[in-house]
Amino acid sequence: MQVLYEDNHIIIVSKRAGEIVQGDKTGDVPLSDIVAAYLKEKYSKPGNVFVGVPHRLDRPVSGVVVLAKTSKALSRLNDMFRVGSVDKRYLAIVKNKPEIPEGRLENWLVRNEKQNRSYAYDKEVPNSKQAILNYKLVASSVNYHLLEVELLTGRHHQIRCQLAKMGCPIKGDLKYGAERSNPDGSISLHAFHVTFEHPVSHEMIDVKAPLPDDPLWQSFKDKVENL
């Protein structure tokens, strides 16, 4: 865990792939508990430390996670994420180059709880939710392509599902059509950049997470410095 920003109300950290944001049935220690322990030690706090979770990243995804240190901040951040007033940018490495280098994807997603995956449709179907994102081809290497994704809705596995529907499954994402897994079990999706109005002070917060320490990600480092 790397702290990217902190004040009295919020803390923003960079999550490693493989970490869970909030506790689940695996019983693994979640990022929220790791942050609470960090705050307890840093400020020598007695008793429990409040850490609220207004949004999540999938376990195999790395990057920016915004957490609340106060209930006031959590309540307001929950509203902000729900209505889409937090600008969220992701980077995705894909094997197949998109036919159109820049565009908007609009699909209807149906979540299958048993399979823990979503299915994308071109038109509204029963139990579906609208999913919208913008994407842009940023760079290409010999074998892979780097996309910047602006997430406009927050659906289950949305980026993974919609890019796969476009014919560009994310590297390492076996669930959505990648040919092979990544050695560390990650998928090559990184929550890169968040911008939003602070829920209490109303200052603009603008935070980027460093790229994963992986040769393929690092090969694109120069290409993302100006994003």
Which residues are tagged catalytic? Answer: 58
**Bridge-based pairing state of the strands 189-197 and 62-68:** parallel
CA atoms within 13 A on the CB side of 139: 16
Phi, psi of 80 (to 5 degrees): -65, -45
Q: Which residue has the tokens 């565009």?
A: 103
